[in-house]
Amino acid sequence: MDPAQMLQRAPHSPMAGAGWLMDWRLTFGGEDYGWEGALATIVEQPGSQVFTVLYDVSPEDEKNLDNWEGAELGMHKKLRLMVQTLDGSALAWMYVLDAYEGGLPSARYLGVMADAAEAAGAPEDYVEKLRKRPCHNVGPGSSREL
């Protein structure tokens, strides 16, 4: 979701809106894949919802994102899911981590996620829940420790 990261990883793909992925929840997993800890992913859960940002991804940028997300290594599956926006439903693809759920993300990683959600217009309570999730402190500049 982070606009600066997306500009770097997908420079030809403008933001196209935001919405909610219904009946899915945000979680973390693949702690052994990440440099700082567990990575964000989504899992199905009726009644839950995940705030998401939509981008109009160019074919060139899609290849770059696939490489960045480790698609060739089998780290992620790309799922096509419906996102509820203010303008109705939109079909989008999401990278879903192909790893066991569990593990803690770093404080820095959670901070980037929360800042990006806030910048994209996520509700304050959603951003606050992100900022208060359990995490671990990794390296200088991290502000929280479990």
Q: How do residues 93-134 score in pLDDT, each as one tens digit?
A: 998 988 889 999 999 999 999 999 999 999 999 999 999 999
Whether the per-residue pLDDT at 84 is higher than 60: the answer is: yes
- 72 catalytic? Reply is no
Average pLDDT, the chain: 87
Task: Name the catalytic one among 31, 62, 69, 118.
Answer: 69
Report how far residue 88's alpha carbon sits from residue 94's, in angstroms, rounded to the nearest whole number: 18
Nearest to 96 by CA among 48, 39, 15: 39
Does residue 64 form part of some domain? yes
CATH number of the domain residue 111 falls in: 3.10.490.10
Q: Looking up tokens 């770097």, which residue turns up?
A: 8
Does residue 44 form part of some domain? yes
Q: What is the pLDDT of residue 142?
A: 44
Does residue 143 form part of some domain? no
Positions at the binding site for substrate: 109
Report how far residue 99's alpha carbon sits from residue 93's, in angstroms, rounded to the nearest whole number: 18
Does residue 140 form part of some domain? no
Q: What domain count does the chain have? A: 1
Domain residue limits at 19: 3-131
Does residue 107 form part of some domain? yes
Does residue 137 form part of some domain? no
Helix (H) or strand (E) holding 35: none
Radius of gyration of the chain (CA): 15
Q: What is the pLDDT of residue 144?
A: 42
Does residue 103 form part of some domain? yes
More confident residue, 74 or 27: 27
pTM: 0.84
Neighbours of 117 (CB within 10 A): 24
In this predicted structure, which of 4-18, 35-49, 64-78 has the lowest mean pLDDT?
64-78
Does residue 38 form part of some domain? yes
